[in-house]
């Protein structure tokens, strides 16, 4: 008999339909993957060259908190964004996922809860299930660009068991970018109620139309409450490297995380070497990547909104958007796309919206789409989705 914890662990809405996608491919159907944030941008040569040039004759264990030279390089990188932290306030993790888990394990106990604006990154549900912590959803509105709602919405859902606020900025899945003013108001609320503020900032570079990301570590009065999570997966198109970090000025949290990190020994050495070299990618290269994503965003946003009955807000960060479809059950529609539909030998894979909520019954007519494919593929995917909706609604 499996454990209650295992039984409560949800499937990922991003990956749970993968067997159906594989089935479609076996039938000779080309699948446009809009379901997952796997960029097609090439991983930097700097990453691979550093690994190729690694010549230590023994690949031994590294420090539990990461290679010191990598942490020093990260501190310089954060300084360029006016985030002032020392190398000892940076803890290297096995991707941002482990950083989020360590943060939750450090500040919550079994039966506690955290507040998260809905829709949120789906794996927050999974991480909290692993920590035996519940997620209390704070609703946001598409019409408001999924911005931070009034603080009263957080106050109404606060309980004696609430230990933290968890958020992603720029946001996955909505693409929202939050203002410094609204973030400071939320930080003041967190401090007033002795809540940690865990901020997932893996999309820092990906902002558009003059918007800029404000870090939780920029906010006033938050040294004891702010925990930042980061990763190289999206920034350097290195999702398989599995290198992230947790950054905080709270010595107690760092001590707790160190003990957890020692239990799993250390993060991967070669991937840290590659990630450290990636920090040297020229700024103009990074800007050209951001510009490419903006073009893709505009194509997908215009294309989706041109489909009868489909609506999505313009996102200003990350590389996702939440689209509202003229269907009652986006899970059923997403499966239909893979099992029963094809147009010109192709179909589309989407991430059903319900998995991005903690509140039951929400997101049933929404999907998350990622604009990580080249322009031609996005145009073809939109055409395919348009035809699929017409066919699906006539059944």
- pTM reported for the whole predicted model: 0.97
Residue 296 is encoded by which pair of tokens?
Answer: 């893709």
CATH fold match for the domains 4-42+284-393 and 45-278: no
Residue 339 is encoded by which pair of tokens?
Answer: 């099992």
In this predicted structure, what is the pLDDT of residue 284? 96
Q: pLDDT of the chain along its 395 residues, tens only?
A: 889 888 989 888 778 899 999 999 999 999 999 999 999 999 999 999 999 999 999 999 999 999 999 999 999 999 999 999 999 999 999 999 999 999 999 999 999 999 999 999 999 999 999 999 999 999 999 999 999 999 999 999 999 999 999 999 999 999 999 999 999 999 999 999 999 999 999 999 999 999 999 999 999 999 999 999 999 999 999 999 999 999 999 999 999 999 999 999 999 999 999 999 999 999 999 999 999 999 999 999 999 999 999 999 999 999 999 999 999 999 999 999 999 999 999 999 999 999 999 999 999 999 999 999 999 999 999 999 999 999 999 98
169 phi/psi in degrees, rounded to 5: -145, 115
Angle at 354 between CA 353 and CA 355, to 5 degrees: 90
E strand map for the chain: 30-33, 90-93, 113-118, 134-139, 162-168, 196-200, 226-231, 244-248, 311-312, 320-324, 346-349, 351-352, 366-370
Specify the CATH number for 4-42+284-393; select among 3.40.50.20, 3.30.450.20, 3.90.1150.10, 3.90.1170.40: 3.90.1150.10
In this predicted structure, what is the pLDDT of residue 15? 85
| Ramachandran category for residue 220: left, alpha or beta (phi over 0 → left; psi -120 to 50 → alpha) | beta
149 phi/psi in degrees, rounded to 5: -75, 170
In this predicted structure, what is the pLDDT of residue 5? 86
Q: How many CB atoms lie within 10 A of CB 251?
A: 12
Residues near 183 by Cβ (< 8 Å), separated by ≥ 6? 148, 169, 214, 216, 219
Q: Which helix (H) or strand (E) holds 295?
A: helix 283-305
C-alpha span between 302 and 290 (Å, rounded): 18
Residues near 58 by Cβ (< 8 Å), separated by ≥ 6? none
C-alpha span between 135 and 116 (Å, rounded): 7
C-alpha span between 353 and 14 (Å, rounded): 10
C-alpha closest to that of 323 among 291, 365, 367, 287: 367
3-state secondary structure of 30: strand
| C-beta of residue 324 within 8 angstroms of C-beta of residue 310 | yes
With b meaning 16 or more CB within 10 Å and e meaning fewer, what string describes 340-363?
ebbbeebbbbbbbbbbbbbeeebb
CATH architecture for the domain at 45-278:
3-Layer(aba) Sandwich (3.40)
In this predicted structure, what is the pLDDT of residue 12? 85
C-alpha span between 74 and 124 (Å, rounded): 25
Domain locations along the chain? 4-42+284-393, 45-278
Angle at 13 between CA 112 and CA 170, to 5 degrees: 70
């Amino acid at each position: 008999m499996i454990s209650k914890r295992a039984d409560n662990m949800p499937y990922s809405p991003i990956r749970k339909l993968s067997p159906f996608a594989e089935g479609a491919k076996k039938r000779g159907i080309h699948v446009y993957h809009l379901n997952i944030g796997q960029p097609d941008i090439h991983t930097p040569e700097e990453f691979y060259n550093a690994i190729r040039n690694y010549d230590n004759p023994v690949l031994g264990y590294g420090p539990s908190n990461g290679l010191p030279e990598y942490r020093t390089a990260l501190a310089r990188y954060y300084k360029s964004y006016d985030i002032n932290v020392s190398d000892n306030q940076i803890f290297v993790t096995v991707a941002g996922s482990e950083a989020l888990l360590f943060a939750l394990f450090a500040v919550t106990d079994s039966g506690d809860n955290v507040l998260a604006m809905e829709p949120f990154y789906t794996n927050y549900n999974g991480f909290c299930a692993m920590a035996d912590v519940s997620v209390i959803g704070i609703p946001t509105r598409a019409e408001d660009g999924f911005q931070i709602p009034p603080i009263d919405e957080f106050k109404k859902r606060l309980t004696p068991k609430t230990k933290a606020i968890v958020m992603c900025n720029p946001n996955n899945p909505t693409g929202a970018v939050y203002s410094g003013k609204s973030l400071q108001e939320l930080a003041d609320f967190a401090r007033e109620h002795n809540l940690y503020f865990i901020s997932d900032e893996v999309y820092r570079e990906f902002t558009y139309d003059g918007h800029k990301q404000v870090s939780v570590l920029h906010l006033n009065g938050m040294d004891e409450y702010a925990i930042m999570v980061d990763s190289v997966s999206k920034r350097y198109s290195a999702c398989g490297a599995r290198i992230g970090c947790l950054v905080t000025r709270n010595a107690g949290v760092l001590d707790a995380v160190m003990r957890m990190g020692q239990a799993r020994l250390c993060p991967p050495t070669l991937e840290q070497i590659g990630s450290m070299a990636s920090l040297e990618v020229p700024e103009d290269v990074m800007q050209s990547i951001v510009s490419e994503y903006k073009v893709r965003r505009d194509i997908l946003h215009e294309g989706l909104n041109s489909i009868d009955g489909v609506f999505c807000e313009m996102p200003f960060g990350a590389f996702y958007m939440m689209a509202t479809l003229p269907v009652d059950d986006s899970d059923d529609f997403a499966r239909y796309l893979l099992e029963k539909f094809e147009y010109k030998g192709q179909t589309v894979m989407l991430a059903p919206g319900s998995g991005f909520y903690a509140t039951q019954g929400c997101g049933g007519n929404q999907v998350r789409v990622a604009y990580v494919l080249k322009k031609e593929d996005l145009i073809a995917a939109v055409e395919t989705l348009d035809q699929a909706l017409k066919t699906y609604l006539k059944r």
